[in-house]
Amino acid sequence: MSSKSLILVIGLLVVLLGGVGGVYAYDSSREDLIGKNVSVGGVDISELRAEEARDKLRSDLVAPLNRPVVARHDDKRFKLTAEQARVAVDIDRTVQAALDRSRSGNILSRTLRGLSGGKTNARIDVDVSYDRAAVKRLVTRVSKKLERPAVDADVDISASGVATKESHRGLKVKAVALRRALDRRIVSTTARRVVAVRTETLEPKVTTKELGSKYPSVIVVDRGSFTLKLYEDLEPSKDYRIAVGMAGLETPAGLYDIQDKQVDPTWNVPNSDWAGSLAGTSVPPGPSNPLKARWMGIYNGAGIHGTDAVGSLGTAASHGCIRMAVPDVEELFERVDVGTPVYVA
């Protein structure tokens, strides 16, 4: 607008309002009036007086914010109420911000805008406060309830045999994404108050399908029944008749594994009284060597070996080792590897 046009408009305003006093009176009458096209958080408060605007905001804006926010995962719901989150809206400050925008400019420009039906065109942000720690506590509660670690498949080896422990997938909550989504929803008057909990699946390092390759063979020695049980692919495969350690020189109980394998082994005689003159010596392979055909060491000098004293099988007759018939020990030797678990019950 040119200077001449502005002077003309101002002059007309003065005439229309009965002088300068009329202009001041008109402007003063609109001190608490919200301009046209003004909204707060999507709520239209155009051309309302300040108190009317406060009432409408309490009804249309505060009420939605007082509804709880819910984190949802499948059939589980986790609620955060407005009271728990200490949600608060500064209505007075928000309305004052709308009035400040509506009263922008000088007295003449405001009067001109009012008389000509001009628009303020302002979108005021909602001044919402809440307790961020409450949101974090909700995220922690959701995580504790939903999260679970991945469980690797494993075997339970005992006197009863080999039992399989199934693998299970784990679950982890995407906590940062959940917190951010809750932060957005808790201050929104229009968005749904339900937040879907995003998660990620944790895969086990060893699945049930992979367990067989991890344990291709397992040995369980039952000293009471003088039986060596071979498991292959976690299933019972074959039983062998054995001899075990005599009283005072018992085959050690516990879970071990095959530490070494030898064909036609040398016998390194223990330095023990029962060994007599052979104590501390080494006996090479041959007729005088009691370790016939094969050796599978399991623990501290004790192991599985063949014997030609087949009459001792089914008894406690050895000096701590596990004796097998030569054909049986040769067969077992080919079916197990170093590292094969050996449980002695």
- Whole-structure pTM value: 0.64
Q: What pLDDT is recorded for position 28? A: 84
Residue 274 has a pLDDT of 84
In this structure, is residue 264 part of a structural domain?
A: yes
User: CA 297, CA 304: separation in Å to the nearest integer?
Assistant: 6
Of 10-14, 90-94, 200-204, 299-303, minimum mean pLDDT range: 10-14
288 found inside a domain: yes
Query: Is residue 256, in this structure, part of any structural domain at all?
Result: yes
Token couple for 314: 């089914």
241 in a structural domain:
yes
Residue 245's domain spans which residues? 215-344
- List the structure tokens of 262: 């030898």
The structural domain count of the chain equals 1
Strand pairing category for 69-73 and 194-196 = parallel
Run of H or E residues at 257 = strand 254-257
pLDDT tens digits for 63-79? 889 999 999 999 999 99
Give the span between the Cα atoms of 284 and 288, in whole angstroms.
8
Token pair for residue 339?
């590292």
Report residue 184 as tokens. 């957005």
Measured distance CA(94)–CA(85) in Å, rounded: 20
Query: Does 1 have pLDDT greater than 80?
Result: no
Short-list 18, 47, 44, CA closest to 118: 47
Q: Among positive and negative, which fits the CA dihedral 229, 230, 232, 238?
A: negative
Distance CA 322, CA 344 (A): 10
CATH number of domain containing 284: 2.40.440.10
- Averaged pLDDT of the chain: 90
User: For residue 179, what are the CA distances in angstroms to 66, 78, 164, 183?
Assistant: 19, 13, 39, 6
Does any domain span residue 197? no
Residue 147, burial from CB neighbour count under 10 angstroms (0-12, 13-18, 19+): middle
Q: Is residue 22 part of a domain?
A: no
Asked whether the beta carbons of 231 and 157 are under 8 A apart, the reply is no
Specify if 291 maps to a domain: yes
The pLDDT tens digits for 158-174 are: 999 999 999 999 999 99
Residue 113: which pLDDT band, with cuts at 50, 70 and 90?
A: confident
Is residue 262 one of the residues assigned to a domain? yes
Alpha helices (H) in the chain, listed in sequence order:
3-16, 20-29, 50-57, 63-65, 82-85, 91-102, 107-116, 132-146, 175-186, 208-214, 326-335
pLDDT average, residue stretch 86-92: 92
Quick: pLDDT tens for 183-235: 999 998 888 999 999 999 999 999 988 888 889 999 999 999 999 999 999 99
Pick 300 or 145 by higher pLDDT: 145
Virtual torsion, Cα 99, 105, 107, 110, nearest 10 deg:
-70
